[in-house]
A and B are shown apart, each in its own frame.
Chain A
Amino acid sequence: MSVDLSQFIPTFLEESYEGLALMESSLLNLEQGDDETINSIFRAAHSIKGGAGTFGFGHVTDFTHLVETLLDEMRDGRREIRSEEVEVLLESVDCMRLMIDAIQNETDYDNSSIDVTSEKLELLLSGSLSDDTGADTPVETSKNASSWQIIFIPEHHLVQTGNDPLLLFNALEDLGELKVNAIVDSLPSLTEMDVEELYLQWELQLFSDSVTEQDIREVFEWVEDECELEVTPVSFDEPETESTSLDETSETAEVKQPNDETPSPEVTAPNIEPEITPSPAGAPVTENKEVKVATKAKPEGGSIRVGVDKVDSLINLVGELVITQSMLSELGNDFDLSKVDKLTAGLEQLLQNTKELQESVMRIRMLPISFAFNRFPRLIHDLAKKTGKDIELIINGENTELDKTVMEQIGDPLVHLVRNAVDHGIETAEKRLAAGKPEKGTVWLDAYHQGGNIVIEIKDDGGGINRDAVFNKALEKGLIEPTTNLTDNQVFELILEPGFSTAKEVSDISGRGVGMDVVKKNIQALGGRIQVDSTPGEGSTFKVNLPLTLAILDGQLVRVGEEVFVVPLITIVESLQAKSENINRVSGDMILYRLRDENVPVIPIFQLFNLPADSQDVDDSLLVVVEADGQKVGLMVDDLLAQQQVVIKSLKDNYQDVSGVSGATILGDGSVAMILDIPGIIQMALDIANKKQKEKQLKMQNEGALI
């Protein structure tokens, strides 16, 4: 077959990643175990093996074959499902991922871990109860027969799908000497014959020393769903090989049409619905799995999968837009003043269409948060093993939707928080029992929408945060003064400060003193917040508040001179008219505004950005008090305009980053407005103040020297 296969490799890779994710999540559920789950794991492994075979990734095929054999024994009930097997299978999933990664990046991978795992697999297989399957592993991949009998019974419509048996036989002939016998038993009488159907069946004999069963099956790869195929070695009297081949036929058929095969135990549950398990963790986790099956895509990939319903609604909206457009253009062809009403109505409809279209398009970027959550069952599984703690993970709200860009960046901070909950939060079993708690610790992951934000809660039922320990540690590190008066929550949030770690021992899971501050930084970089709450003895909650999307921002438009700027609404504390009695000028140009019991530095935007402004005097000007990194400043502006959602556009695409500005947006009249970067502005103002200070000192020194 002379099809260029390389163009399908990306698809194979994507499907393999999906398959691996499915295998992983199913394996974690398998601990409760049932036939359907094993079947879905087996199918995933089988498709990866098949795909890898087609594209000639022999190492993947060989390895996956071992996995498949083990899974086959499990689903046939020949092997008990124990945690030992599940561990090795999970390890195998990691190995397969490693190999697929290597194919994708066209790099080499570390062979040793794969060798170790395949040894483990072989060890398990050789210790299997039924010896014949143990032996069949090498048979299919390496042992050769000198002659093969192939019975090929194509379905009638085979030629209509573009497949030609003659080509298949030609390909077989390349493998060795071929004898072809056509069976004409099912040939109908001439009057009943349909010229487009295929009624022939074949019995073939292939003579060759070097051909494996796999080579033969590869030839039939493209038609295996549309035929019955039996491949049997003739010279070797090995019934078990035959049994494998029957197995394979049955399992391919089973995927497509479970009812036309001999009854085997797995066919009893043909539906792919997730099972409902008695464990409380079961329901949400399996639901999660279903989502993954439907939508999991390669995380780094440049493509996203979009639900058909979303695309449908887009098409509908575009249809409506076209209708509105044709209505308007018809109106324009023959327009007089009497039709103004119609025009207004048409324009209103256009506005409506555009708005809906915009919303719809934005929704395409939204993905269920299960994309970020689906790594946690495995993580918890591994962490529980590592720490020797018994831990259950309960996930809720994994269908909550979140912008793809936010999703990509929130994964790592979440992993850190979950690790932290397991390592520091959940106590050891003895301690838990002593405290009268169930031995099994629980970690909850919740996601839900609140206003325009998404909230992610990471909760554990561990020992909670020791307020005094945190307070003392912060004292020791010089983060606070002994006299500082802090609420409990403020104390807990100290653990998010740089260089803070209360773990008495540094473990390899967390507690290196870096991390929590990075988590906080990452979340803030996304425009989000993190809050800590804790009750001693009952557990801790980390609440992460994130904007739904990075592409749209709620902004307050302000005017300075001729220019309009956008201040992110989330940073604004309040806006006020400056009263002269509250204005203090200290050390030269620094202006402080007394806001109740706080002194807030005033930053005149016109001065900072070097722009002409209406008023250069702080008295009676408008101040927008904003807060970033815990620092409040008053931005002096000429006018407050509307509040609106703005679409963020990068300046970097065609220009470069501009300090004090985080991006630009296009306003309703088509003009461009800059979006202010509040932390950047505060930094700029600080730098300038420092510079002035230095210059002043220098000047004073010079003057002193003169005197």
Chain B
Amino acid sequence: MEQEYLTFILSGEEFGVDILCVQEIRVLTTVTELPNKPDYLKGVINLRGVIIPIVDLRQRFGKDPLDYNDKTVTIILRSQNSVKPMVVGIIVDAVSEVYKFETANIRQPPALGNQIDSCFLKGIAAVEEKLIILLDTNTLLDQDELFSLEAENEEAELIG
């Protein structure tokens, strides 16, 4: 079985998400901040009447953030759960390509030495010389998993 993946760049690495979960690709617009939120959650935007949280995937995966400019891209992902679809925007460095992979050619991700929560990883696929890290949209589009990291310093700041 073949699956198509949209890939994007995040601090030099190439990641892929199931293309069926990609609703659209947008330029980052003004984000409304949420009070006392974790760092990686930039806030919410209004996408045609729906309020959507925006996550900086670099920060969510524990990397240093980039400054945003008018070319910063967000990929709007929509889960395929038809009962309660969750929509979220992720900020990435750049959108790259669309690739087709045979399911059989997707290898298990290495268990060790990863900065990213292993629950978000689905596998690794090779295209020519590159390795592409495929993300698991089931966990990525699960509110409990994606927003599991709480804001750490907020209380200390409030009291201080």
Do the two chains bind? yes
Q: Which residues of B are found within 8 Å of A674, using beta-carbon distances?
A: 32, 34-35
Q: Which residues of B are found within 8 Å of A656, using beta-carbon distances?
A: 143, 147
Within 8 A of A (CB), among B146-160: 147, 154-155, 157-159
- Closest approach, in angstroms, between the C-beta of B10 and any C-beta of chain A? 21
Per the bound structure, the CA–CA distance linking A661 and B159 in Å amounts to: 20
Q: A655 contacts B44, CB within 8 Å?
A: yes
Q: Hey, what's the 0/1 contact readout for A577-618 against B, CB within 8 Å counting as 1?
A: 000000000000000000000000000000111110000000
Q: A661 contacts B158, CB within 8 Å?
A: no
Per the bound structure, the CA–CA distance linking A524 and B36 in Å amounts to: 26
Per the bound structure, the CA–CA distance linking A610 and B50 in Å amounts to: 25
Partner of B34 from the list A658, A691, A695 (CB cut-off 8 Å) is A658
- Closest approach, in angstroms, between the C-beta of B95 and any C-beta of chain A? 21
Q: B45 contacts A672, CB within 8 Å?
A: yes
Within 8 A of A (CB), among B37-57: 37, 41, 43-46, 49-53
Question: How would you classify the secondary structure of chain A's contact residues: helix, strand, loop or mixed?
Answer: mixed
Partner of B32 from the list A659, A660, A673 (CB cut-off 8 Å) is A673
Q: B51 contacts A649, CB within 8 Å?
A: yes
Q: Hey, what's the 0/1 contact readout for B11-46 against A, CB within 8 Å counting as 1?
A: 000000000000000000010111111000101111
Which chain B residue shows the least CB distance to A661?
B35
Q: Hey, what's the 0/1 contact readout for A647-659 against B, CB within 8 Å counting as 1?
A: 0011101111011
Q: B49 contacts A651, CB within 8 Å?
A: no
Per the bound structure, the CA–CA distance linking A683 and B25 in Å amounts to: 40
Kindly state whether residue A666 has any CB partner on chain B within 8 Å: yes
Q: A660 contacts B51, CB within 8 Å?
A: no
Q: Hey, what's the 0/1 contact readout for A162-176 against B, CB within 8 Å counting as 1?
A: 000000000000000
Once A651-B44, A655-B53, A666-B49 are accepted as A-B contacts, the answer to whether A608 and B35 lie under 8 Å apart by CB is yes
Kindly state whether residue A475 has any CB partner on chain B within 8 Å: no
Per the bound structure, the CA–CA distance linking A656 and B143 in Å amounts to: 7
Per the bound structure, the CA–CA distance linking A673 and B49 in Å amounts to: 12
**A-B Cβ contacts below 8 A, count:** 80
Per the bound structure, the CA–CA distance linking A660 and B154 in Å amounts to: 14
Per the bound structure, the CA–CA distance linking A651 and B34 in Å amounts to: 10
Q: A654 contacts B51, CB within 8 Å?
A: yes
Q: Which residues of B are found within 8 Å of A660, using beta-carbon distances?
A: 35-36
Q: B49 contacts A691, CB within 8 Å?
A: no
- Closest approach, in angstroms, between the C-beta of B54 and any C-beta of chain A? 10
Once A610-B157, A651-B51, A654-B52 are accepted as A-B contacts, the answer to whether A672 and B44 lie under 8 Å apart by CB is yes
Which chain B residue shows the least CB distance to A666?
B46
- Closest approach, in angstroms, between the C-beta of B42 and any C-beta of chain A? 12
Which chain A residue shows the least CB distance to B32?
A672
Within 8 A of B (CB), among A47-64: none
Q: B36 contacts A653, CB within 8 Å?
A: no
Kindly state whether residue B75 has any CB partner on chain A within 8 Å: no
Kindly state whether residue A186 has any CB partner on chain B within 8 Å: no
- Closest approach, in angstroms, between the C-beta of B85 and any C-beta of chain A? 9
Partner of A654 from the list B32, B37, B86 (CB cut-off 8 Å) is B86
Q: A688 contacts B46, CB within 8 Å?
A: no
Kindly state whether residue A82 has any CB partner on chain B within 8 Å: no
Kindly state whether residue A279 has any CB partner on chain B within 8 Å: no
Q: Which residues of B are found within 8 Å of A671, using beta-carbon distances?
A: 30, 32, 46
Within 8 A of B (CB), among A632-674: 649-651, 653-656, 658-661, 664, 666, 670-674
Q: Hey, what's the 0/1 contact readout for A559-580 against B, CB within 8 Å counting as 1?
A: 0001100000000000000000
Partner of B50 from the list A609, A654, A659 (CB cut-off 8 Å) is A654
Partner of B159 from the list A650, A653, A672, A691 (CB cut-off 8 Å) is A691
Tell me how many residues of A have a C-beta within 8 Å of chain B: 29
Q: Which residues of B are found within 8 Å of A655, using beta-carbon distances?
A: 34, 41, 44, 51, 53, 143, 147
Name the residue in B44, B51, B143, B147 with the highest tally of chain A Cβ atoms < 10 Å from its Cβ.
B51
Kindly state whether residue B135 has any CB partner on chain A within 8 Å: no
Q: B53 contacts A611, CB within 8 Å?
A: no
Once A649-B51, A654-B50, A671-B46 are accepted as A-B contacts, the answer to whether A563 and B32 lie under 8 Å apart by CB is yes
Q: Which residues of B are found within 8 Å of A649, using beta-carbon distances?
A: 49-51
Per the bound structure, the CA–CA distance linking A611 and B34 in Å amounts to: 10
Kindly state whether residue A386 has any CB partner on chain B within 8 Å: no
Kindly state whether residue B133 has any CB partner on chain A within 8 Å: no
Kindly state whether residue A305 has any CB partner on chain B within 8 Å: no
Kindly state whether residue A692 has any CB partner on chain B within 8 Å: yes
Per the bound structure, the CA–CA distance linking A396 and B117 in Å amounts to: 61
- Closest approach, in angstroms, between the C-beta of B149 and any C-beta of chain A? 12
Once A666-B49, A692-B159 are accepted as A-B contacts, the answer to whether A661 and B32 lie under 8 Å apart by CB is no
Kindly state whether residue B132 has any CB partner on chain A within 8 Å: no
Per the bound structure, the CA–CA distance linking A144 and B30 in Å amounts to: 78
Q: Which residues of B are found within 8 Å of A688, using beta-carbon distances?
A: 158-159
Q: Which residues of A are found within 8 Å of B53, using beta-carbon distances?
A: 654-655
Q: Which residues of B are found within 8 Å of A659, using beta-carbon distances?
A: 35-36
Per the bound structure, the CA–CA distance linking A695 and B155 in Å amounts to: 13
Which chain A residue shows the least CB distance to B154?
A610
Partner of A695 from the list B30, B45, B159 (CB cut-off 8 Å) is B159
Q: B36 contacts A670, CB within 8 Å?
A: no
Q: A664 contacts B51, CB within 8 Å?
A: yes
Kindly state whether residue B87 has any CB partner on chain A within 8 Å: yes
Q: Hey, what's the 0/1 contact readout for A670-706 against B, CB within 8 Å counting as 1?
A: 1111100000000000001001100100000000000
Q: A563 contacts B36, CB within 8 Å?
A: no
Per the bound structure, the CA–CA distance linking A656 and B151 in Å amounts to: 14
Kindly state whether residue B90 has any CB partner on chain A within 8 Å: no
- Closest approach, in angstroms, between the C-beta of A632 and any C-beta of chain B? 22
Which chain A residue shows the least CB distance to B49?
A666
Once A691-B159, A692-B159 are accepted as A-B contacts, the answer to whether A654 and B88 lie under 8 Å apart by CB is yes
Per the bound structure, the CA–CA distance linking A674 and B51 in Å amounts to: 11
Q: Which residues of A are found within 8 Å of B51, using beta-carbon distances?
A: 649-651, 653-655, 664, 666, 672
Q: B36 contacts A610, CB within 8 Å?
A: yes
- Closest approach, in angstroms, between the C-beta of B132 and any C-beta of chain A? 27
Once A661-B34, A672-B45 are accepted as A-B contacts, the answer to whether A610 and B158 lie under 8 Å apart by CB is yes
Which chain B residue shows the least CB distance to A563?
B33
Per the bound structure, the CA–CA distance linking A607 and B158 in Å amounts to: 7
Per the bound structure, the CA–CA distance linking A611 and B50 in Å amounts to: 24
Per the bound structure, the CA–CA distance linking A658 and B44 in Å amounts to: 12
- Closest approach, in angstroms, between the C-beta of A680 and any C-beta of chain B? 11
Per the bound structure, the CA–CA distance linking A650 and B34 in Å amounts to: 13
- In the complex, given contacts A654-B53, A656-B147, A672-B45, what are 10 additional A-B residue pairs having Cβ atoms less than 8 angstroms apart? A608-B35, A608-B158, A610-B36, A610-B154, A653-B84, A653-B86, A655-B53, A658-B34, A658-B35, A661-B35
Q: Which 4 A-B pairs have the closest CB atoms?
A: A609-B35, A672-B32, A655-B53, A666-B46
| 15 A-B pairs with C-beta separation under 8 A | A562-B33, A610-B157, A610-B158, A654-B51, A654-B53, A654-B86, A655-B41, A655-B44, A655-B147, A664-B32, A666-B49, A671-B32, A674-B32, A691-B155, A692-B159
